[in-house]
Structure 1
Amino acid sequence: MSGLLGVFFNFCRTSVRGVRLKMKVHLLLILAVCLNTQYGSSALPDSCSYPPSKWCSSLHSAVQCGVLKQCLESNFTRSHQTADPVRVELYYESLCPGCRGFLTQMLFPTWLMLSDIMAVTLVPYGNAQEKPDEQKYIFLCQHGEQECLGNMIETCLLNMTENAFYTIFCMESSNDVIKSAKSCVEVSSPEVSWDKLMTCVNGNQGNQLMHQNAMKTKALNPPHEYVPWVTINGVHTEDLQNKAMNSLFTLVCSMYKGTKPPACGSSQRHYKSYCHNE
């Protein structure tokens, strides 16, 4: 097994120990997205007419797609969280190899497992530069025009749908970020019209949204020196950056001030029962 599915199954194989049933729905969602992207729509359940991002949107969709129990447990747990979530912001650019690796192999899997206790903000801009051009801005990207296009597509997605992270993960996990964009949108954000998305990308709205990303990136304190650049609860230090790069999962669990979810290991059971060779 290779590519996106390989990454997913490697993550599942190493990360699901101690995770409650409520998280299975998130794993099911992204698995369906991966399968659909790689092999076509036939990989989705025949009885389910909803896209993965909508499986828990209503009682009817949860029943039809066979995930009612998981959706109910997920909603119950989320409603009983009392502490503020750990805020993770990623400043990145769409074609930066290091950014793509961190987003797909560290940030997204961590968010899937700990979405009840963390909030993620994506800021696609990175080391780009902007120049005023009358009422608009011209953007120059470190990895060329294709990166500027990727940044703009992802920026417009973040403004147009709550499911943008799924779609961005799909894009950044693919062999070609730009060529995969349309199919990723169709699979994981079907509520977004590709034509409307490209209207944003090529129009004043996208230009202004990217300008906001530029301003937010320039306002970083300390100023960013590289990407991916991570802030935790609005703070960046080299220590936090290193911990995030090495194990964001562990960092989020350690910084959450409420009751730790089972995924963090606080409620794991350890069994010492053996079947002896007779």
Structure 2
Amino acid sequence: MGGGRIVVRVIILLLMVVLSWKIWDYTALPANTTHEFKVKETVREQVQQDEGACCKDEKSVLLAPAVTQHEEVEVEAFPPMRVEVYYEALCPDSRYFVIKHLLPTYNKLKDIITVALVPYGKASTHEKEGRYSFKCQHGPVECRANTVHACVTNLIKDETKQLEIVSCMIEKNDNPMKVGQKCVEKFGEQWEGVEGCVNGEKGESILKHMGDMTHSLNPPVTFIPTILIDGSQAGQAKILQDLHKFLCRKYKGPKPASC
């Protein structure tokens, strides 16, 4: 009985030794497998994040509205042509040009031209004691008529009405004040202001200014009417023959329908 117990104890002791050695052997192993697994999981998560980010960016690009770059487009400007008419109120050639060419052309091309009327012609200005007097090619009646025209262009700002009134007056200007009142009132304007201008110093000053403009032309006036287009006297014969045609050819912008 005593020997059997000793054998059992020896066997138990051997088992404990073997078990302790196995446990030490297991714990002594490096933890490569666990680390490798964690690394692989980390790499996989990173790849998934990168792929998700990539897909997200691609979707964002696909779903985002196209960005339109607004380019500044330069639009060429075409200012209206300036038509200056140097004329006399009793000159037959001036009358014909204003009635037959100027007003009809203006009505067709008013969107591309502006008109300045300078009623003076081949007159002369004289100053005495601070007042101005004038000598005109067709006599004192023309000086009076020129003054009426000058006051109309100064007081009536509407360009269309200016031309209509001047065209009305120049048709028969032998009685400047009477025809002036008739034409001014015909187009809905007040005659009293024009009359006061004609009879006062203001009318003299305005006509004197018209004379200064006329005398400053280079080359000097030799024929009435003289027409300037954008400051140039070139092409007088063609202008007087067909103002509308000349302006249509000269204008560089989109042509009006009448051209």
The answer on 1:158 being equivalent to 2:156 is: no
Q: Offset of 1:263 from its aligned partner?
A: 1.1
Equivalences for residues 1-278 of structure 1 within 5 A: 82-161=77-156, 162=158, 163-174=161-172, 176=174, 178=176, 179-188=178-187, 190-192=188-190, 194-237=191-234, 240-264=235-259
- CA spacing shift, 1:173–1:135, aligned 2, 3 Å: same
CA distance in 2 between counterparts of 1:177 and 1:228 reads 21
- Contact kept, 8 Å, 2:141 with 2:174, in 1: the verdict is no
Q: Deviations over 1:64-83 (max 9, x none)?
A: xxxxxxxxxxxxxxxxx941
- Contact kept, 8 Å, 2:99 with 2:167, in 1: the verdict is yes
Q: Deviations over 1:138-195 (max 9, x none)?
A: 101111111011100010000111222111111112474624221111111x232x22
SS in 2 for 1:230: strand
- Contact kept, 8 Å, 1:95 with 1:177, in 2: the verdict is no
Alpha-carbon RMSD: 1.7
Question: Amino acid of the residue matched to residue 228 of structure 2?
Answer: T
- Contact kept, 8 Å, 1:90 with 1:230, in 2: the verdict is yes
Question: Amino acid of the residue matched to residue 213 of structure 1?
Answer: M
Q: Which consecutive segments of 4 or more residues in structure 1 shift more than 6 A? A: none
Counterpart in the other structure of 1:13: none
Percent of residue pairs bearing the same amino acid type: 39
CA distance in 1 between counterparts of 2:243 and 2:138 reads 26
Counterpart in the other structure of 2:43: none
SS in 2 for 1:262: coil
Q: Deviations over 1:107-137 (max 9, x none)?
A: 1111111111111111000011111112111
Question: Amino acid of the residue matched to residue 204 of structure 2?
Answer: N
CA distance in 1 between counterparts of 2:175 and 2:105 reads 21
SS in 2 for 1:130: strand
- Contact kept, 8 Å, 1:90 with 1:122, in 2: the verdict is yes
Question: Amino acid of the residue matched to residue 147 of structure 1?
Answer: E
Gaps of 5+ in 1: 1-80, 265-278
- Max Rg structure: 2
CA distance in 1 between counterparts of 2:115 and 2:189 reads 21
CA distance in 1 between counterparts of 2:101 and 2:244 reads 8
> Normalization by structure 2: what TM-score?
0.67
CA distance in 1 between counterparts of 2:92 and 2:180 reads 17
> Normalization by structure 1: what TM-score?
0.62
Q: Deviations over 1:197-231 (max 9, x none)?
A: 11100111111111110100010011111201111
Higher helix proportion (structure 1 or 2): 2
- CA spacing shift, 1:214–1:136, aligned 2, 3 Å: same
CA distance in 2 between counterparts of 1:82 and 1:234 reads 19
Gaps of 5+ in 2: 1-75
CA distance in 2 between counterparts of 1:139 and 1:209 reads 12
- Contact kept, 8 Å, 1:171 with 1:177, in 2: the verdict is no
